[in-house]
Structure 1
């Protein structure tokens, strides 16, 4: 009888463990498995499964493999269509986060770290309003100017059509007489070939990694930074045990910065490779940064005031943090 009870108890424990296990659906905007972004998300899934003893597993789906538009990822997580995701195109759902992407506001790694740390409580609340838990994120290298025409200074942008990924980048191009055009990444190569656009704002380890053959010039002027948020559905997250929640947060807190570091390392590799393949890399001209900063500073204020008091406060938080 004792042996039977012991066996039954063991079976009950096993059944309970299976019932508590969670298998999440993960998603990323990136469709290329070899990018630092996807590798980082893959590591998170592998570590979560191992460090929770299988209590949480994450099946990661690459961009375009699910019927989710890149601009709808945060909404899809909030609606529970997927449980976990990396979202680069979150600004439509959480527009206050775009303060981090204002051109010429954040100009180096140190400023980024200070700005993000100061703004994080506001971001956590803003994502929570979407039914999403903000767990962390990673950042791409600085967005610089890649073109089909020679550029030796910002004045050379005048009259040229440049692909941008945000209204804020578009305003930067307009300040220097260019015409901003918004296109999906898949449209860029054909548009460059046909002359629909004559340049793009991206990173060497970002879009230029795929489009470099169409872009013989790179003006190494840091316009702004782009970043991705790593998020989870709030109900799915709260259904996890406290121990599993803590483990997931810890892993994301480690792998987010590791992904950023991998991008920065790849940026140098790609710059060298692109230069050796014939691309002309030109360092920012003396005085361009100060001139651009002076031009764009009034725009930061106008952007915040147009969007409301919360944005004004968010901008102040960032500017106080970086002393600008």
Structure 2
């Protein structure tokens, strides 16, 4: 009888421990701007969710929702995360809420991986501070390949942009298009194919592994002048992040750091694959003339400073630090 009582007591203790463990488990709502599950970005976010659940022994689980499956506009992801509507997100369109982030996407400012790394090292603390002001913790970011020029018309020089309507994703890209006589048009990705088909736009700034992966049939020409980079921040609601067990929080942060690096590598690899595939499908691809690149940069240098001056002293200060790091 005593043995049975001991066994029952042991079972109750075990059940209590199990229940306590279950009660402690945290379930997060995750969100990404991308609605295409096959992209390197979404695959990476899915890996983060899978690894977090496994490596925290189910202490933290993240249910990832693709773009447009929640009533959150892409431009509102920062705010939705800060408000706790979602706990974790990939945020490509954060610059409206964290304007300092736009420095990393200024046209012709950053021209290769080495320059990106130097500029990003300068920007990291300012990104963290900017997101913190929104009630958001900045965990890291992944980067898309360089945004280049895809068109429905023949193009092998910057002069060919004149008089044409080009889809852009930011005011900064728009300034570049205007500098060479084009008209920038802002559209969501889902609107681009119809706009190209109807002649609403004549081209787009994107990457082979980005928009051109889906729109290439409408864009038979590609002039590979590197306009700028775009990047997506990985963010968490600050209260949710701070409420995690320290070991769980450290595991999440480590996984995000590793996977964002991998997403960037995957995009770089896919850029080569898609570029080759598009060429084989008949796209005319022209590598940019170095003189054209220098000309574009010379046109943009005064604009960088005008942009920072209008944005305020903080932007001027940070831009100066980035330029110093880049030796420009």
1:57 is paired with a residue of what secondary structure? strand
Query: Equivalences for 1:208-223 in 2 at 5 Å?
Result: 208-223=212-227
Return the match for 1:6 from 7, 10, 17: 10
2:155 is paired with a residue of what secondary structure? coil
Q: What corresponds to 2:154 in structure 1?
A: 150
> Is it true that 1:295 corresponds to 2:294 in the alignment?
no
> Is it true that 1:39 corresponds to 2:43 in the alignment?
yes
Return the match for 1:276 from 261, 276, 280: 280
Q: What corresponds to 2:169 in structure 1?
A: 165
Cα offsets for 1:226-281 (capped at 9, x unmatched): 10000000111111000011000000000001000000100000001100111000
> Is it true that 1:17 corresponds to 2:21 in the alignment?
yes
Query: How far off is 1:159 after superposition?
Result: 0.8
Distance in 1 (CA, whole Å) between partners of 2:126 and 2:99 is 12
Query: How far off is 1:6 after superposition?
Result: 2.8
1:54 is paired with a residue of what secondary structure? coil
Query: How far off is 1:154 after superposition?
Result: 0.6
Aligned residues: 324
Q: What corresponds to 2:95 in structure 1?
A: 91
Structure 2: unaligned runs, 5 residues or longer: none
Instruction: Report the TM-score when normalising by structure 1.
Output: 0.98
Q: What corresponds to 1:236 in structure 2?
A: 240
4+ residue runs of structure 1 moved beyond 2 angstroms?
Answer: 1-9
> Is it true that 1:27 corresponds to 2:16 in the alignment?
no
Q: What corresponds to 1:192 in structure 2?
A: 196
Return the match for 2:129 from 125, 130, 139: 125
Query: How far off is 1:290 after superposition?
Result: 1.0
1:67 is paired with a residue of what secondary structure? coil
Cα offsets for 1:44-97 (capped at 9, x unmatched): 000000000000000000111110001111111000001100011111111110
Coordinate RMSD, CA, aligned: 0.9
Query: How far off is 1:9 after superposition?
Result: 2.3
1:81 is paired with a residue of what secondary structure? coil
Structure 1: unaligned runs, 5 residues or longer: none
1:42 is paired with a residue of what secondary structure? helix
